[in-house]
Amino acid sequence: MEIYSAIEALVKQALSIDLIDKEDKIYARNQIMSLLVLNDFPEQVIVNSELSIPDLLDILVEFAVQKNIIEDLPAEREILSAKIMNVFLPRPSDVNKEFYKKYSVNPVEATNYFYKLSKDSNYIQTRNIAKNINYVTGTPYGELDITINLSKPEKDPKQIAREREMKTPASHYPKCLLCIENEGYEGRINHPARSNHRIIPIQLANETWYFQYSPYVYYNEHCIILSAEHRDMKIDRETFERLLEFVEKFPHYFLGSNADLPIVGGSILSHDHYQGGNYEFAMARAKDDYTFSLSDYPSIQAAVIRWPMSVIRLRGKDRHELVDAADMILDKWKTYSDPSANIIAETDGTRHNTITPIARKRNEQYEMDLVLRNNRTSEEYPLGIFHPHEDVHHIKKENIGLIEVMGLAVLPARLASELVEIEKYLLGVSHEVKEYHLPWAKELQKKYGSSITADTVKEILRKEVGLKFLRVLEDAGVFKRDEAGLKAFRRFIKQLK
């Protein structure tokens, strides 16, 4: 009887959060029964109303595994789970109509509706996200956000083996994880389930783009804005136009783009997209180091901000003039070299300079942050001169993309258990500290000495991980925050006046 109880409880949960109306109850139940190959339903069912939707989905999916309806693989489980939740979702056209009906009243109402729908439908993996370790670390640049990412489950060994054994050619539909063809896509062994996925069309700079939320949100209302066309990332004038037009339409959100070059770009360079949300990062709170004027753009206020990376902030009420100013800075930066600061614009025709831009609206003004990036490598730094250096790789080795640039560290899951072993080392008890952490652990032991206790060790480690992330950002900054670097930055600023 447990399976019938779980079905009935799931339908009641969907009713209680307005995913469906009472007239949809029998239809929804029958659709779920079909997915679980059930032909009848008892008249009396005891419902456990304390279980969450993810917990109820676990019961239904486990039933399907036990009855050999699906194979016991994470991908198969996710596919069925998404199919079950799709039973409760409106068609894309209905979601779009409701979104824009609410948008006509207030953009906040529209995004609140869509965010709630994305969470209620289990598209946003709220239960898994709750596993993440989150805290802030105070630094001279403000409080940096630290996240140890435990929300994305690691691949099951059986699933990895299945993927290797697949004899059919890899499918190229959808072309990537961001393509619009993912909406409602069932998924497969090597592509995530998207039956319960919905996207909203948005016009930006005379093109149709699409709005969705990240399944594993790293901050409040973490959204993705993606091109309808599968095309490479590109930072250009149109990028600035789209970012600013978006924050005009959704002034409670920021929107930014990863850089468009390897090493300094994000993990997906093959599909043009942006990331935004309703969240204020440490970089947004950064104060001006100094201001300067742009003679060709008299209404624009320009400043270098106090941040470990090299950031020019533009402010103005005229977004078209702001686009012009940002485009001018991009053009100047693309060809700018300063060998004394290790900045070389290109090597044998390969461009190295680009920008990570972030737009927001604040106090009736538009703001555009332009983070200067360079992806050059050298013998000393084969992974990137302006990339996390080897002595911080034990904490963070991956590319520094948009989210990290703004002050949120997304750190690997391995750190959750590895830091526990470092705690043991610092407390002088039996431990299994990884060799790549040992030099750091010894430094901490020397630095803190007798102040390390069972009550303080966790907080000390959290602080020091945050300071390591600060080092990561300093490594990624093209103009260093020392006297020589600040002078070099001013030399570039002179080129803009």
Say which DSSP state 490 is in.
H
CA dist 479 → 93, 98, 328, 482 (Å) = 48, 47, 19, 8
Residue 266 pLDDT level (bands cut at 50, 70, 90)? confident
Pairing of strands 254-256, 353-362: antiparallel
Q: What is the pLDDT of residues 229-251, one digit of tens each?
A: 999 999 999 999 999 999 999 99
Looking at the chain, the number of H-run helices and the number of E-run strands are 16, 15
The DSSP string of 82-102 is HHHHHTTSPPHHHHHHHHHHH
pLDDT at residue 154 tops 70:
no
Domain boundary residue, one of 69, 91, 113: 69
Give the rounded percent of residues in the chain with a pLDDT score beyond 70.
Answer: 96
Whether the bond into 174 is cis, omega within 30 of 0: yes
445-451: long-range contacts (C-beta < 8 A, 24 or more apart)? none
Domain boundary residue, one of 10, 40, 69: 69
Q: What per-residue confidence (pLDDT) applies to 40?
A: 94
Q: What is the mean pLDDT of the chain?
A: 94
Q: What per-residue confidence (pLDDT) applies to 46?
A: 86
- Domain membership of residue 312 (yes or no) is yes
- Domain membership of residue 482 (yes or no) is yes
Q: What per-residue confidence (pLDDT) applies to 483?
A: 97
pLDDT at residue 497 tops 80:
yes
Coil, strand or helix at 375: coil
Coil, strand or helix at 297: coil
Domain of 41 in residue numbering reads as: 1-69
Q: What's the rounded Cα separation, in Å, for the pair 217 and 277?
A: 10
For residue 296, what are its two tokens?
Answer: 């060709």
- Domain membership of residue 297 (yes or no) is yes
Nearest 5°: CA angle at 381, between 306 and 434?
Answer: 90
Q: Please enumerate in sequence order all residues whose Cβ is within 8 A of that of 115, keeping only pairs 6 or more positions apart, or say none.
A: 124, 213, 221
Residue 68's region, left for phi above 0, alpha for psi from -120 to 50, else beta, is left
Angle, helices 74-86 vs 53-66, to 10°: value is: 120
The domain tally of the chain equals 2
* Burial zone of 439 (CB within 10 Å; 0-12 exposed, 13-18 middle, 19+ buried): exposed
Q: Phi and psi (nearest 5°) for 413? A: -60, -30
- Domain membership of residue 492 (yes or no) is yes
Q: What per-residue confidence (pLDDT) applies to 416?
A: 96
Count of alpha carbons within 13 Å of 176, Cβ hemisphere only?
16
Q: What's the rounded Cα separation, in Å, for the pair 236 and 234?
A: 6
Q: What's the rounded Cα separation, in Å, for the pair 417 and 392?
A: 18
Q: Which residue, 21, 123, 170, 107, is CA-closest to 361?
A: 107
User: Are residues 210 and 199 in contact, defined by beta-carbon separation less than 8 angstroms?
Assistant: yes
Q: What's the rounded Cα separation, in Å, for the pair 261 and 371?
A: 13
Q: What is the pLDDT of residues 192-226, one digit of tens each?
A: 999 999 999 999 999 999 999 999 999 999 999 99
Q: What per-residue confidence (pLDDT) applies to 163?
A: 57
- Domain membership of residue 321 (yes or no) is yes
pLDDT at residue 160 tops 80:
no
Within 10 angstroms of residue 186's Cβ, the number of other Cβ atoms is 13
For residue 45, what are its two tokens?
Answer: 């069912």
pLDDT at residue 302 tops 60:
yes
Q: Where are the alpha helices (DSSP H) in 273-318?
A: 282-285
- Side chain identity at residue 84, one-letter code: I
Q: Which residue, 83, 325, 41, 92, is CA-closest to 198?
A: 92
* Cα radius of gyration (the chain): 25
Q: Phi and psi (nearest 5°) for 411? A: -100, 155
- Domain membership of residue 277 (yes or no) is yes
- Domain membership of residue 441 (yes or no) is no
Q: Where are the alpha helices (DSSP H) in 208-289?
A: 237-249, 282-285
Within 10 angstroms of residue 51's Cβ, the number of other Cβ atoms is 17
Cα torsion angle, 153, 154, 157, 159, sign = positive
Q: Which residue, 315, 309, 306, 308, is CA-closest to 288?
A: 306
* Burial zone of 20 (CB within 10 Å; 0-12 exposed, 13-18 middle, 19+ buried): middle
CA dist 221 → 49, 115, 193, 206 (Å) = 28, 7, 21, 25
Domain boundary residue, one of 69, 96, 116: 69
Q: Which residue, 121, 129, 57, is CA-closest to 95?
A: 121
Q: What's the rounded Cα separation, in Å, for the pair 207 and 198?
A: 19
For residue 243, what are its two tokens?
Answer: 């970012």
Say which DSSP state 371 is in.
E
CA dist 490 → 296, 314, 334, 481 (Å) = 18, 16, 17, 12
Q: What's the rounded Cα separation, in Å, for the pair 133 and 35?
A: 35
- Side chain identity at residue 6, one-letter code: A
Q: What is the pLDDT of residues 421-455, one digit of tens each?
A: 999 999 999 999 999 999 999 999 999 999 999 99
Residue 155 pLDDT level (bands cut at 50, 70, 90)? low
Q: What is the pTM of this model?
A: 0.94
- Domain membership of residue 400 (yes or no) is no
**Mean pLDDT, range 469-496, rounded to an integer:** 97
Q: Phi and psi (nearest 5°) for 337? A: -130, 145
Q: What's the rounded Cα separation, in Å, for the pair 67 and 47?
A: 22
